C-alpha cells in the first residue's frame, strides 16, 4: 500500500511538470486560441498595410472603408479571443490552487503520521533497547520475527520521509506553474486593455469614413453600376469557358469509353451542364471535395474585403452588390497561388478584371481574377500552392485586390467555407 502511495506521489511530480508546460506542449484549447489570435493580428496588419497604401490618395475609396470594417471586426474578434484566453487562465489558476490545497492536506497528514512514529520510536528507547527487545524473545523464530518487524518499521519510516519529500516537490512545481499562469494572465489583461483602446480609435475612423462616403452617394451609385456590369460580364464569360470545358471533357470521356469498349454507344453525359469525367478527373474531383475547409488561400497573406453573395455598400442607404466570389485585399505585388492541383483551362484578359486564370480540378474550377502578371499558360499542370501570377494594383489608389471564385460544374460556390486558415 505504501509503495503504491509513493509511486502515486512520483507520478504526481510528472503530472505537475506537464501541467507547468501544458499550454506549450499539448494545450488543445489554448493552442487554438493562440493560433487564432496570431491570424487576427496578421489580418489587422494586412488591413493597416492596405489603408496605408490607399491613404496616399486623397479620395476615400470603398475598399478603404471595407478594409476599415474588416479591421474593426478582426479587432472585436481579437478582443473576444483574448477574453477567452483570460477565462482559460482563470480556470488553470483555480485548478492549481486547488491542487496546492490538496497537497498541503496530504503533506500535513503525512507529517502528523511521521511525528507519531517518532514518538513511538522514542518510547522504545535507544538501539540497545531494540536489541534487548530481540534478545528477549522466547525462541529463535520469535527473535527473527521481531527483527523483521523492526526492519519493516524502519523502512516504513523512510518511505514516509520520501513521500513527504515527493509531495513537497510536487507542491514546488505547482507553485512555479501558478506563478507562470498568473504572469500570463497579467499579460493577457494588458493586451485586452490595449486592444479595446485600439478598437475605440478604429470605430471612430470607421464612422468618419462612412460619413464622408455618404456625402458622395451619387458618385458611389455610378461606381456600383459600373462594377455590377463588370461582375456580370466576368460571370457570363466564366460560364461560357466552363461550358466549353464541359463539352471538351464529355468528348474526351466518350472517346476513352469507346477505346476501352469498341463499338460501344455509351453517351458520356448529354446535358450541357453535366460533367462526364475520365477516371483521372473523377479521382481529382474527389480529392478536391475531400479538402473542403482545408484548401490554402490563393494568396499567402490577405483579408476578405467582400464576401460571396449580396454585400451592403458602405455610405449608401440599403444599396447592395452581388459578388460571385470573394475579394481578397492583399499587400502590393503579392503572388497568387493555386489552391489545389489541377490543369489550367484558360488564361484570358477580361475588361475590368485584368488577366484571369481558370484552373480545372475534375468538375471543380477555381478562378483567379485581377492578375497583373501570369506565370502559367493553358494546358499547364499546376500543383497546390504553385505560383500562377501576381495581383494587379489599382493605378489610381494603389489597392491590390484578388477576386477569387470557386465553381462546381456551372454553379458558383461560396469559396470561404472551402478555404482553411
Coil, helix or strand at residue 24: helix
Q: What is the pLDDT of residue 130?
A: 52
Residue 127 has pLDDT above 60, yes or no: no
| DSSP at 302 | -
322 forms bridges with which residues in the sheet? 310
Query: Residue 387 is inside which H or E element, if any?
Result: strand 387-391
Q: What is the pLDDT of residue 9?
A: 47
In DSSP notation, 127-182 reads: HHHHHHHHHT-SSHHHHHHHHHHHHHHHHHHHHHHHHHHHHHHHHHHHHHHHHHHH
- Over residues 119-139, the mean pLDDT reads 56
CA-closest candidate to residue 256, choices 234, 273, 278, 286: 278
Q: Rounded to whole angstroms, how far apart are CA atoms 367 and 357?
A: 6
Q: What is the pLDDT of residue 290?
A: 95
CB-based contact 389:382 (threshold 8 Å) = no
Neighbours of 369 (CB within 10 A): 27
Q: Rounded to whole angstroms, how far apart are CA atoms 370 and 70?
A: 21
Q: Rounded to whole angstroms, how far apart are CA atoms 344 and 228?
A: 27
Residue 11 has pLDDT above 70, yes or no: no
Q: What is the pLDDT of residue 23?
A: 41
pLDDT band at 299 (very low <50, low <70, confident <90, very high): very high
Q: What is the pLDDT of residue 49?
A: 75
**All three cell numbers of 56:** 496616399
pLDDT more than 70, % of the chain: 72
Cα dihedral 196→199→200→202 (10° resolution) = 160
Coil, helix or strand at residue 404: strand
- Over residues 33-39, the mean pLDDT reads 81
Q: What is the pLDDT of residue 147?
A: 56
Tens of pLDDT, residues 276-286: 677 888 899 99
Query: Residue 221 is inside which H or E element, if any?
Result: helix 217-260
- Over residues 254-279, the mean pLDDT reads 61
Tens of pLDDT, residues 162-213: 777 777 788 888 888 888 888 888 988 998 899 889 888 888 888 887 777 7
Task: Pick the more confident residue, 358 or 315.
Answer: 358
Coil, helix or strand at residue 14: helix
| Domains of the chain, CATH where assigned | 2-214 (no CATH), 217-249+275-418 (2.70.70.10)
Residue 244 has pLDDT above 90, yes or no: no
Residue 275 has pLDDT above 70, yes or no: no
Q: How many CA atoms lie within 13 A of 292 on its CB side?
A: 12
pLDDT more than 90, % of the chain: 21
pLDDT band at 364 (very low <50, low <70, confident <90, very high): very high
- Over residues 63-90, the mean pLDDT reads 86
Q: Rounded to whole angstroms, how far apart are CA atoms 41 and 347?
A: 35
- Over residues 43-65, the mean pLDDT reads 67
- Over residues 66-76, the mean pLDDT reads 85
Q: What is the pLDDT of residue 53?
A: 59
Task: Pick the more confident residue, 219 or 365.
Answer: 365
Tens of pLDDT, residues 367-407: 999 999 999 999 999 999 999 999 998 776 677 899 999 99
Query: CA separation (Å) from 338 to 79, 385, 389?
Result: 33, 5, 9
Question: What's the chain's average pLDDT?
Answer: 77
Residue 254 has pLDDT above 80, yes or no: no
Among 132-141, 235-244, 344-353, 378-387, the range scoring the smallest mean pLDDT is 132-141
CA-closest candidate to residue 388, choices 362, 353, 415, 356: 356
Identify the residue whose cell numbers are 522514542: 122
CA-closest candidate to residue 336, choices 371, 380, 294: 371
Amino acid at each position: 500500500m505504501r509503495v503504491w502511495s509513493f509511486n502515486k506521489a512520483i507520478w504526481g511530480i510528472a503530472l505537475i511538470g506537464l501541467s507547468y508546460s501544458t499550454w506549450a506542449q499539448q494545450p488543445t484549447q489554448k493552442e487554438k486560441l493562440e493560433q487564432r489570435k496570431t491570424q487576427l493580428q496578421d489580418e489587422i496588419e494586412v488591413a493597416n498595410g492596405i489603408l496605408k497604401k490607399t491613404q496616399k490618395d486623397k479620395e476615400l475609396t470603398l475598399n478603404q472603408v471595407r478594409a476599415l470594417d474588416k479591421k474593426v471586426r478582426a479587432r472585436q474578434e481579437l478582443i473576444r479571443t483574448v477574453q477567452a484566453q483570460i477565462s482559460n487562465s482563470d480556470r488553470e489558476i483555480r485548478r492549481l490552487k486547488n491542487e496546492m490545497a490538496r497537497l498541503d492536506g496530504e503533506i500535513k497528514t503525512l507529517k502528523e503520521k511521521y511525528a507519531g512514529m517518532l514518538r513511538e520510536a522514542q518510547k522504545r528507547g535507544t538501539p540497545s533497547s531494540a536489541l534487548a527487545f530481540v534478545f528477549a524473545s522466547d525462541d529463535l523464530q520469535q527473535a527473527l520475527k521481531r527483527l523483521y518487524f523492526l526492519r519493516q518499521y524502519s523502512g516504513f519510516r523512510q518511505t514516509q520521509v520520501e513521500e513527504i519529500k515527493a509531495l513537497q516537490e510536487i507542491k514546488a512545481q505547482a507553485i512555479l506553474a501558478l506563478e507562470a499562469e498568473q504572469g500570463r494572465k497579467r499579460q493577457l489583461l494588458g493586451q485586452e486593455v490595449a486592444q479595446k483602446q485600439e478598437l475605440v480609435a478604429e470605430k471612430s475612423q470607421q464612422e468618419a469614413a462612412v460619413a464622408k462616403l455618404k456625402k458622395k452617394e451619387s458618385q458611389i451609385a455610378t461606381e456600383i453600376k459600373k462594377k455590377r456590369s463588370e461582375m456580370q460580364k466576368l460571370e457570363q464569360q466564366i460560364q461560357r469557358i466552363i461550358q466549353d470545358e464541359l463539352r471538351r471533357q464529355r468528348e474526351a470521356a466518350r472517346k476513352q469509353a469507346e477505346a476501352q469498349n469498341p463499338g460501344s454507344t455509351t453517351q458520356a453525359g448529354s446535358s450541357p451542364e453535366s460533367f462526364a469525367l475520365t477516371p483521372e478527373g473523377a479521382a481529382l474531383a474527389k480529392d478536391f471535395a475531400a479538402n473542403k475547409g482545408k484548401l490554402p488561400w490563393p494568396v499567402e497573406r490577405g483579408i476578405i474585403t467582400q464576401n460571396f453573395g449580396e454585400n451592403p455598400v458602405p455610405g449608401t442607404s440599403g444599396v447592395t452588390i452581388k459578388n460571385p466570389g470573394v475579394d481578397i485585399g492583399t499587400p502590393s505585388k503579392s503572388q497568387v497561388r493555386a489552391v489545389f492541383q489541377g490543369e489550367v483551362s484558360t488564361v484570358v484578359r477580361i475588361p475590368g478584371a485584368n488577366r484571369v486564370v481558370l484552373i480545372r480540378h475534375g468538375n471543380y474550377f477555381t478562378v483567379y481574377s485581377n492578375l497583373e502578371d501570369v506565370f502559367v499558360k493553358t494546358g499547364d499542370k499546376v500543383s497546390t500552392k504553385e505560383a500562377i501570377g501576381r495581383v494587379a494594383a489599382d493605378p489610381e489608389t494603389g489597392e491590390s485586390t484578388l477576386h477569387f471564385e470557386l465553381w462546381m460544374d456551372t454553379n458558383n460556390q461560396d469559396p470561404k467555407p472551402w478555404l482553411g486558415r
